[in-house]
Amino acid sequence: MSSEMNVIRDAILSGKATAKDYTGLPLPQSMLAVTTHKDEVRMFDGLESDEKDPRRSLHLDEVAIPEVGPNEALVAVMASSINFNTVWSAIFEPIPTFQFLERAAKRSPWDKRHDLPYHIIGSDGAGVILRVGPGVTLFKPGDEVTIHCNYVDMQAPDGHDDSMLDPDQRIWGFETNFGGLAEVALVRANQLMPKPPHLTWEEAASMPLVNSTAYRMLVSHNGTQIKQGNIVLIWGAVGGLGGFALQYVLNAGAFPICVVSSPEKVKLCETIGARWVIDRGAEGYRFWSADGSQNVGELRRFGKKIRELTEGEDPDVVYEHPGHETFAASVFVARPGGSIVTCASTSGYNHEYDNRYLWMNKKRIIGSHFANYREAWEANRLVGKRALHPLLSEIYPLTEAGEAAYRVHHNLQIGKIGVLCLAPGDGLGVRDDEGRSRHIGQINLYRNAAKGEFRLVKTQP
């Protein structure tokens, strides 16, 4: 770490530096960042997805800090996190992200900065603003922030009802350069949100992407707007997306049916408050036969299991993201008039399902992608109000981002994996100790990655 970066880090750790102090601190020329390399995008050719190892493709490089442009901010990143899009970037699937950077560069001279032989990835972050560009009014240097990943400048009319519909909408740190897995990140000002002061840096950094996505899918009018009494089937209920979905469903007075893959995860769902949990590992569902045809008997077995739990009811909403392997089951089990809300296809994006179950029963499929600023802000606000808490099980240093991404790729973590960037250790950044201690009925799950054990802390009123 450069001496200038050390000074910045000390100012943040002191918790006392003012906006003027930050503006006066010299910016380093360069920083450490996790990158993929353009000349390596073919390195995994011929391998199956599972065999593509992020530990080989992710590098820790010393790279230049970009110039801050209009309506932008440079943020000293204390922590970031691994998302599944970190994995997609690292294994160059479904396409190498450099194609996004090249396309974006055609837009304007400022966008050209992103088109480099390396891609700094990472779509989450929490830290402190170092500089703002011309035109930034809501935030200033010294503000402690979380960063959401909806990268949009709102010039096209299409996005003004919902910025996710803007034709130039991109995901920061995936479809743009200068993402969160670095000592300093470059963001648009409309990605910034106040960091909930009762959270540590790594907790705050672990949530913006998955929390905002879950909010849109389940709470927003752009999603399913779940309400009291709804039954919501959640695939991967203590994964990144699922960990927030489960809390939104419980908060709404709705009933989650959690699907997870181990007894340890079953126990965690129950600890969080779920009454109905299915261990898909123990049940061994095979929705697809060896010849690739749909196994209707297995769909029925899954539906029957759900009805046993719910005393005969079917889900109003199915929260979908595994894709190919589960989508037919999701369509099958949703109740007549129910919805399947989907934001991903981890196991394959060519979905096949029997459409009779959909049209004859008037079910709806709702496509959803990340969240607009309003939705991300509301999701962040709810964490600030202590209505939700990030589910964070492991923390890695920036030097081991490849290992952390490997674990997410192979479904080895629970909830999210945090990554420490400038933060010298975990547990730092809490500015509201009292608020933290008043944390009611929420869960702080923390897995010590080195020891591989859980410390489950349920805070009391």
Q: Residues in the site for ligand NDP, rule: CB under 6 A?
A: 83-85, 209-210, 213, 235-236, 239-242, 259-261, 265, 280, 321-322, 325-326, 343-344, 346-347, 369-370, 408, 411
**Minimal distance in Å, beta carbon 108 to ligand NDP?**
25
Task: Pick the closer one to ligand NDP by CB: 127 or 242.
Answer: 242
> Tokens 């670095």 correspond to what residue?
182
Q: Rounded distance, CA 192 to CA 377, Å? A: 9
Start-to-end CA distance of the chain, whole Å, equals 41
Q: How far apart are CA 414 and CA 446, in angstroms?
A: 9
Nearer to ligand NDP, 87 or 136 (CB): 87
Is the CB of 129 or the CB of 246 nearer to ligand NDP? Answer: 246
Q: Which is nearer to ligand NDP, 136 or 343 (CB)?
A: 343
> C-beta of 233: minimal distance to ligand NDP in Å?
11
User: Nearest distance from residue 287's CB to ligand NDP, in Å?
Assistant: 9
Judge contact between 294 and 301, C-beta under 8 A. no
CA distance 224 to 318: 10
Picking from 223, 219, 248, 253, the residue whose alpha carbon sits closest to that of residue 234 is: 248
Kind plus residue range of the DSSP H or E element containing 214 = helix 208-218
118-120 β-sheet, strand order: 59-64, 30-37, 118-120
Closest to 128 measured CA to CA, from 180, 182, 74: 74
Least distance between ligand NDP and beta carbon 191 (Å): 14
Q: How far is the CB of 249 from ligand NDP (least distance, A)?
A: 15
Task: Give min distance, CB of 184 to ligand NDP, in A.
Answer: 24
Question: Residue 390 carries which side chain, given as an amino acid letter?
Answer: P
Q: Whose structure tokens read 């920083």?
A: 31
- Measured from the CB atom, is 346 or 380 closer to ligand NDP? 346
Q: What angle do CA 384, 229, 256 make, to 5 degrees?
A: 65
Residue 84 or 248: the one with the smaller Cβ distance to ligand NDP is 84
Give the residue with the Cβ less far from ligand NDP, 75 or 376: 376
The gap from C-alpha 120 to its chain's centroid, in whole angstroms, comes to 17
CB of 214 to ligand NDP, least distance (A): 8
User: What sign results for the dihedral spanned by CA atoms 440, 441, 446, 451?
Assistant: positive
Return the beta strands (E) in 261-298 as ranges.
Answer: 276-279
3-state secondary structure of 193: strand
Residue recorded with tokens 């960037």 = 421
At residue 376, what is the residue type? A
Shortest distance (Å) from residue 346 CB to ligand NDP: 4
Give the torsion through C-alpha atoms of 295, 299, 300, 305, to 10 deg.
140
Rounded least distance, CB 345 to ligand NDP, Å: 7
What's the rounded Cα separation, in Å, for the pair 174 and 17? 32
Compare residues 22 and 174 and give the one whose CB is closer to ligand NDP: 174
Helix (H, G, I), strand (E, B) or coil at 123: coil
Tell me the closest approach of the beta carbon of residue 430 to ligand NDP, in angstroms. Answer: 25
**Rounded Cα gap, residues 298 and 285, in angstroms:** 6
Q: Which is nearer to ligand NDP, 177 or 206 (CB)?
A: 206
DSSP three-state, residue 413: coil
84 or 406: CB nearest ligand NDP: 84
Least distance (Å) from ligand NDP to the CB of residue 344? 3
DSSP label at 452? Answer: T
Distance between CA 155 and CA 172 in Å, rounded?
Answer: 17
In whole angstroms, how close is the CB of 87 to ligand NDP at the nearest point? 7
- Cis peptide bond N-terminal to 134, omega within 30: no
Contact 30/63 with Cβ under 8 angstroms? yes
Given the complex with ligand NDP, which of 116 and 250 has the nearer CB atom?
Answer: 250
Give the nearer residue to ligand NDP in terms of CB position, either 146 or 422: 146
